[in-house]
Amino acid sequence: MGHGKLKKFAENETFRCLLQPDASAVLDKEAGSRELRLRDHAIKGKWGREMFGNDHPIVLELGCGKGDYTLALARRHPEINYIGVDIKGARLWKGAKEATETEMPNVAFLRTRIEFIEAFFSPGEIAEIWLTFSDPQLRGSENARLSSPLFLERYRKFLRPGGIVHLKTDSRYLYEYTRSVVAVNGLQVLASGTDIYHEGLTAVPGLETDIVFQVQTFYEQMFLEMGLPITYLAFTLDHEGPYAFPGEAFDHEKWLEAEGPRRSFSHQPTKKG
């Protein structure tokens, strides 16, 4: 491990806005069992009071990287609390450092695996979720996609009724996969678009959409400079019973072919620094 990362990890320990629990704080794995069990973290249900000191709505960005999107959202809406979640401490360092130095009271970061996310939030504690340029897991397990039925079930446990999930991605594959999941489960689509900067969005009346265009991630800016289309989908999780997988409703081969060779580039690690 390089000296730069060690320095960042040490500085991370000084940031009040960054919570870095050890995995053992939420894992409850029975001896001799391969089933992964979670136990509640102490912050669960207490983010407003203990982290932010208010009862404002809380919005999550899952897979936030360096936190640039989380920070930009927080600047636009000081009346809302934002939490960026990622597993990489060296990435979170940048966002936590900026939030600390600029004294942003409505920003926090959580270092954990998203598979553990339900251990940190109580029912109704979260108002909205942003999935920004997530790995589409083209060759990996369907369950690893952050918009899979498995993850939607996790989110439902803490997203308030009527709460919104935002998916913003350069991956047409992930966009179409998510649309299939939404359709199969009868979820309400609030907004959608397959090339938002050139064709705009179709959205329900009254939904704020300006923020979709005005807040951009590091990757998004790069893709726009390359002329690549950006997709967006917003939907609610209001649904009774277990979530169904799309199965044949999603044409895996078609959208895998449409993805093209750029996928190997688009999710490379960001530059050091």
> What is the chain's pLDDT, residue by residue, as a tens digit (273 residues)?
566 788 899 999 999 999 999 988 899 866 445 667 899 999 999 999 999 999 999 999 999 999 999 999 999 999 999 999 999 999 999 999 999 999 999 999 999 999 999 999 999 999 999 999 999 999 889 999 999 999 999 999 999 999 999 999 999 999 999 999 999 999 999 999 999 999 999 999 999 999 999 998 888 999 899 889 999 999 999 888 999 999 999 999 999 998 876 544 444 433 333
The CATH number of whichever domain residue 176 belongs to comes to: 3.40.50.150
At 131, the amino acid letter reads L
Contact in structure between 181 and 242 (CB atoms under 8 Å) = no
Residue 249 lies in a domain: yes
**Per-residue CA distances from 57 to 48, 52, 81, 205 (Å):** 8, 11, 6, 22
Catalytic residue among 40, 135, 238, 251: 135
Residue 142 lies in a domain: yes
Q: How many domains does the chain have?
A: 1
Residue 68 lies in a domain: yes
Euclidean distance between CA atoms 177 and 149, whole angstroms: 11
Residue 31 lies in a domain: no
Active site residue 22: no
Contact in structure between 136 and 172 (CB atoms under 8 Å) = no
Q: Which range marks the domain in which residue 177 is found? A: 3-22+43-266
Give the DSSP H or E segment for 85. Answer: strand 81-86
- Listed in sequence order, the residues at least 6 apart from 5 whose beta carbon sits closer than 8 Å to its beta carbon are 90
pLDDT single digits (tens) 13-51: 999 999 999 988 899 866 445 667 899 999 999 999 999
Task: Name the token pair of 185.
Answer: 């489960």
Residue 57 lies in a domain: yes
Burial bucket for residue 198 (CB in 10 Å: 0-12, 13-18, 19+): exposed
Task: Name the token pair of 22.
Answer: 């050890």
Phi, psi of 132 (to 5 degrees): -110, 110
Q: Please give the model's pTM, rounded to 2 decimal places.
A: 0.92
- What is the model's pLDDT at position 265? 45
Residue 37 lies in a domain: no
Residue 30 lies in a domain: no
Contact in structure between 136 and 169 (CB atoms under 8 Å) = yes
Residue 222 lies in a domain: yes
Q: What percent of the chain has pLDDT over 90?
A: 80
Euclidean distance between CA atoms 18 and 89, whole angstroms: 10
Helix axes 68-76, 89-101, angle to 10 degrees: 30
Burial bucket for residue 126 (CB in 10 Å: 0-12, 13-18, 19+): buried
